[in-house]
């Protein structure tokens, strides 16, 4: 597909990177000559230096032949205008980054309708929802939801005292009554799709799928279920902090935000009744201790500096805060944070890039199935996809074991779950895929556009 990306900041560049890897014909547009030059030097993408809301610039980018147009500049208004012009000039689908809480709270639906936007994306709001899900289940390092929340994938680190250390997966399934599947294991730099004889070790990062209640049951049986974080300290008064605090307050949690800018403190205090706002430099350890760091259930570092977020989070972890989360956008720093012992990191640019990748895949679907969700997991080493099965799916009603024997599944691909109505199925060889199902698939080595791609051809 031909895709135009307007705005080559951190998020725009990550979107360009992902969509080029997907094999799309990508055009990057930005006012900054240096940003355009950097994209041109690194990625196999056409670049245009100019104003993304100018019709001449859009014509030069080839908007009239565009399948998907994405505007992610730093200005909501510029993004909306760019999408409006692109749609009028022939773009088939348009997506705008709209971050301002006023738009998102009051008139987003109306704006999307009037501007004929296919989607509005808000990195800060998406990140806040990701953080909120983790704080509801602090035992997890990462959580993704499927099928409207009826199926979950969680990532866990196995610590040195984990009861799973040295246990084979077949023994694990026999010993614990919960219905779950360990579908992937990251051991050092290797990603493994394990068989029943695979033996877990301390230090492994595992991806586990099940219905939410089954995950809770398993973690409780293992003795590693942490209570939901009710008392949360947030460092930095960013938009993400605002959205997260609003979610937490609505859920009956207590929130304390530490922000160094006095005016931003006052603004947040006015817009978040119930939150405690502290005007202080939270990067100082003494300030955090004075504000009760040791007594909170969770600490979330959301400053604009990856380095600050990592260092302060390490300090919070050293004070035995039960759950510590850091926002880290730069890939090399995220890897460093892992090595330094931070097991829970969020990245807004990765979240949004994943949404755009899913949307682009969905546009390419045939009628046999459609991509409903797509997440990159295990440090981007694998993808987890949710497909909706259409009535004309060619492999419907065939037992999975027969599919494997007759056609064969691609190596590095695993059917991790089937949702049939309200029923969640951890599939065995006797189960079938039926029209109307939602099927969750793990893919470690292949780019899947549709469900039938899992079959060897």
Phi, then psi, of 199 in degrees rounded to 5: -105, 125
Phi, then psi, of 238 in degrees rounded to 5: -75, 175
Q: Does domain 2-121 have CATH number 3.40.50.1950?
A: no
CB atoms under 10 Å from CB of 41, counted, come to 8
Residue 407: the pLDDT is 83
Residue 363: the pLDDT is 83
Would you list the domain boundaries of the chain? 2-121, 129-222, 231-346, 351-454
Tell me how many degrees the CA angle 124-129-131 measures, rounded to the nearest 5.
90
Counting beta carbons within 10 angstroms of the beta carbon of residue 52, is it exposed (0 to 12), middle (13 to 18) or buried (19 or more)? buried
Residue 66: the pLDDT is 95
Residue 197: the pLDDT is 93
Nearest residue to 241 via CA among 299, 310, 291, 281: 299
CATH number assigned to the domain covering 351-454: 3.30.70.1450
Which DSSP symbol is given to 31?
S
Give me the architecture of the 129-222 domain, per CATH. Answer: 2-Layer Sandwich (3.30)
CA distance 120 to 182: 34
Q: What residue ranges of the chain have pLDDT lower than 70?
A: 105-106, 365-369, 457
Residue 456: the pLDDT is 81
Residue 369: the pLDDT is 60
Cβ neighbors of 177 (< 8 A, separation 6 or more) are 217, 221
When the candidates are 3.10.450.30, 1.20.120.1780, 2.40.160.20, 3.40.50.720, the CATH number that belongs to 231-346 is 3.40.50.720
Cα atoms in the Cβ-side hemisphere of radius 13 Å centred on 57: 19
The pTM of the whole model exceeds 0.75 = yes
Nearest residue to 162 via CA among 172, 153, 152: 172
Counting beta carbons within 10 angstroms of the beta carbon of residue 93, is it exposed (0 to 12), middle (13 to 18) or buried (19 or more)? buried
CA distance 302 to 305: 8
Domains 2-121 and 231-346 share a fold: yes
CA distance 119 to 109: 10
Cβ neighbors of 350 (< 8 A, separation 6 or more) are 14, 376, 380
CA distance 183 to 368: 25
């Amino acid at each position: 597909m031909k895709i135009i990306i307007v705005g080559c900041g951190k998020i725009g560049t990550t979107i360009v990177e992902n969509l080029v890897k997907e094999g799309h014909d990508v055009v990057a547009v930005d006012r900054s000559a240096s940003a355009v030059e950097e994209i041109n030097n690194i990625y196999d993408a056409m670049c245009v230096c100019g104003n993304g809301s100018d019709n001449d610039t859009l014509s030069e980018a080839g908007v009239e032949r565009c399948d998907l147009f994405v505007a992610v500049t730093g200005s909501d208004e510029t993004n909306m205008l760019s999408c409006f012009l692109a749609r009028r000039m022939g773009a088939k689908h348009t997506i705008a980054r709209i971050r301002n809480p006023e738009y998102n709270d009051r008139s987003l639906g109306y704006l999307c309708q009037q501007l004929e936007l296919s989607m509005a994306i808000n990195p800060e709001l998406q990140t806040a929802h990701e953080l909120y899900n983790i704080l509801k289940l602090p035992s997890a390092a990462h959580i993704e939801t499927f099928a409207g929340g009826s199926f979950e994938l969680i990532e866990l680190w196995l610590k040195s005292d984990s009861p799973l250390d040295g246990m084979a997966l077949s023994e694990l399934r026999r010993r614990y009554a919960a219905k779950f599947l360990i579908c992937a294991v990251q051991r050092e730099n290797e990603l493994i799709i394990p068989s029943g004889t695979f033996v877990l070790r301390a230090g492994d990062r595992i991806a586990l799928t099940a219905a939410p209640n089954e995950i809770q049951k398993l973690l409780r049986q293992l003795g590693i279920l942490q209570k939901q974080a009710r008392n949360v300290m947030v460092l930095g008064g960013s938009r993400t902090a605002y959205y997260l605090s609003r979610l937490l307050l609505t859920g009956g949690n207590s929130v304390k935000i530490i922000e160094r800018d006095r005016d931003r403190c006052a603004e947040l205090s006015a817009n978040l009744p119930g939150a405690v706002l502290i005007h202080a430099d939270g990067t100082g350890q003494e300030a955090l201790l004075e504000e009760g760091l040791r007594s909170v259930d969770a600490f979330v570092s959301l400053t604009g500096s990856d380095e600050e977020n990592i260092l302060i989070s390490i300090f919070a972890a050293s004070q035995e805060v039960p759950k510590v989360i850091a926002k880290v956008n730069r890939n090399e720093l995220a890897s460093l944070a892992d090595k330094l012992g931070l097991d829970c990191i969020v990245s807004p640019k990765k979240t949004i890039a994943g949404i755009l990748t899913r949307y682009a895949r969905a546009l390419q679907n045939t009628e046999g199935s459609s991509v409903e969700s797509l997440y990159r997991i295990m440090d981007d080493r694998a993808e987890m996809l949710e497909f909706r099965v259409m009535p004309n799916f060619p492999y419907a009603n065939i037992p999975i074991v027969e599919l494997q024997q007759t056609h064969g599944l691609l190596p590095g691909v695993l059917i991790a779950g089937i949702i049939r109505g309200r029923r969640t199925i951890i599939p065995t060889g006797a189960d079938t895929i039926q029209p109307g199902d939602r099927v969750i698939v793990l893919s470690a080595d292949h780019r899947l556009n549709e469900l039938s791609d899992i079959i060897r051809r």
